[in-house]
C-alpha cells in the first residue's frame, strides 16, 4: 500500500463479530444466524462492498470460529474481505486487535476506518456515504447517531419491586442527548492508540467515540436512521426482518 507523502487518505471498514450474543440467545452467535435467508453479517458486508469509498473490509472473528464451516462459506462468498482471528473478550479488544493487524498489513496510519457492528444489518451504502462525506469534509472523526425521541427514566439499584418490575427514580432530560449508532469513523492510528490506552486504563469504553473522547476529541454526530438499529434482544429480530424487507423492496434490490 502506498505511503507517499501525497497519499490521499482512503477508507476501510472493520466489523467486529466476536460477540456471543448472550442477550439474544441461540446455538450460534446472532450475527451468523440466518435473517431473511442469509447470515445477519452478510447485510453489512454487502452494504460496505457496494460503497465505492470503501477500499478494504476487515472482520474480527472469534478464534474458535475460524475453522468453522460458517466461516468457510462466508470467506468463499466474500472473497476480498479479510477475515481475521482477532476476536477478543470485549468489543473494544476485538476492534483494537483488528486495527493492529490493519496497521501491520501496511495500511497508512492516516487512513480512515469505519467500525460497524455486525449486529446492525440495516446499514445502507447511502448512510455510509453520508458519514464519509461529513467526516472527510470536516477532517474530523464522527459517528452516526439519532437524537433521543422518548422521555428518559432513571432507576437506581434500590428501585426493584416484586417480580421484574422497577420503579422510576427520576426523569432525565433528553435535551442534547443522542443515541450512538455505527459506523464510527476515525483515523486508523489515532483510534488504535485511543482504544489501547482506554483498555489499559480499564475505562468503560462502549464505542469507538468514547475512547476518542477520553483523549480529548469531540467526535461529530451525523444523523443516522432508525432502521440502523442494533439487533440485541430476540424481540428485535422480527422488526429487523420487516425493515430489511421494506428496504429491499423500495431499493428494487431483491
Ligand X SMILES: Nc1ccn([C@@H]2O[C@H](COP(=O)(O)OP(=O)(O)OP(=O)(O)O)[C@@H](O)[C@H]2O)c(=O)n1
Which chain residues interact with ligand X by CB under 6 A?
Answer: 16-24, 29, 31, 60, 87-91, 94, 117-119, 230, 232
Of the pair 10, 82, the CB lying nearest ligand X is at 82
Q: Which residue is nearest to ligand X (CB)?
A: 19
185 makes contact, choosing from ligand X, ligand LQXTBERG, none, with CB < 5 to 8 Å by partner type, with: none
Backbone angle region of 69, left / alpha / beta, with phi > 0 → left and psi within -120 to 50 → alpha: alpha
Return the exposure string of 73-85: e unless at least 16 CB atoms fall within 10 Å of the residue's CB, then b.
Answer: ebeeebeebbbbb
SS3 112: strand
Of the pair 9, 101, the CB lying nearest ligand X is at 101
CB 146 within 8 A of CB 178: yes
Q: Which residue has the cell 501525497?
A: 6
84 makes contact, choosing from ligand X, ligand LQXTBERG, none, with CB < 5 to 8 Å by partner type, with: none
Alpha carbon distance 14, 116 (integer Å):
6
CB 180 to ligand LQXTBERG: min, Å: 4
Q: Where is 82: in which H helix or E strand? A: strand 82-84
The residues with which 187 forms a beta bridge, in sequence order, are 112
118 makes contact, choosing from ligand X, ligand LQXTBERG, none, with CB < 5 to 8 Å by partner type, with: ligand X
87 makes contact, choosing from ligand X, ligand LQXTBERG, none, with CB < 5 to 8 Å by partner type, with: ligand X
Of the pair 206, 242, the CB lying nearest ligand LQXTBERG is at 206
94 makes contact, choosing from ligand LQXTBERG, ligand X, none, with CB < 5 to 8 Å by partner type, with: ligand X
Summarize as ranges the residues that interact with ligand LQXTBERG (CB under 6 A): 91, 117, 180-182, 206-207, 230
Amino acid at each position: 500500500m502506498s505511503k507517499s507523502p501525497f497519499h490521499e487518505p482512503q477508507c476501510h471498514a472493520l466489523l467486529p463479530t466476536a460477540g456471543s450474543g448472550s442477550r439474544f440467545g441461540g446455538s450460534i452467535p446472532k450475527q451468523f444466524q440466518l435473517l431473511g435467508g442469509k447470515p445477519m453479517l452478510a447485510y453489512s458486508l454487502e452494504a460496505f462492498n457496494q460503497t465505492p469509498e470503501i477500499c478494504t473490509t476487515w472482520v474480527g472473528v472469534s478464534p474458535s470460529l475460524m475453522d468453522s464451516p460458517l466461516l468457510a462459506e462466508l470467506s468463499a462468498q466474500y472473497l476480498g474481505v479479510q477475515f481475521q482471528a482477532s476476536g477478543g473478550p470485549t468489543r473494544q479488544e476485538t476492534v483494537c486487535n483488528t486495527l493492529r493487524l490493519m496497521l501491520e498489513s501496511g495500511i497508512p496510519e492516516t487512513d480512515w476506518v469505519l467500525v460497524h457492528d455486525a449486529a446492525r444489518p440495516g446499514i445502507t451504502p447511502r448512510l455510509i456515504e453520508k458519514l464519509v462525506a461529513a467526516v472527510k469534509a470536516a477532517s474530523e472523526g464522527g459517528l452516526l447517531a439519532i437524537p433521543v425521541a422518548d422521555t428518559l427514566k432513571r432507576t437506581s439499584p434500590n428501585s426493584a419491586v416484586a417480580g421484574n418490575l422497577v420503579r422510576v427514580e427520576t426523569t432525565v432530560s433528553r435535551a442534547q442527548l443522542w443515541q450512538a449508532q455505527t459506523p464510527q469513523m476515525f483515523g486508523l492510528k489515532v483510534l488504535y492508540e485511543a482504544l489501547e490506552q482506554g483498555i489499559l486504563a480499564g475505562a468503560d469504553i462502549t464505542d469507538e467515540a468514547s475512547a476518542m473522547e477520553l483523549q480529548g476529541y469531540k467526535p461529530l454526530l451525523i444523523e443516522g436512521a432508525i432502521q440502523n438499529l442494533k439487533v440485541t434482544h430476540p424481540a428485535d429480530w422480527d422488526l429487523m426482518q420487516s425493515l430489511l424487507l421494506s428496504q429491499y423492496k423500495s431499493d428494487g434490490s431483491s
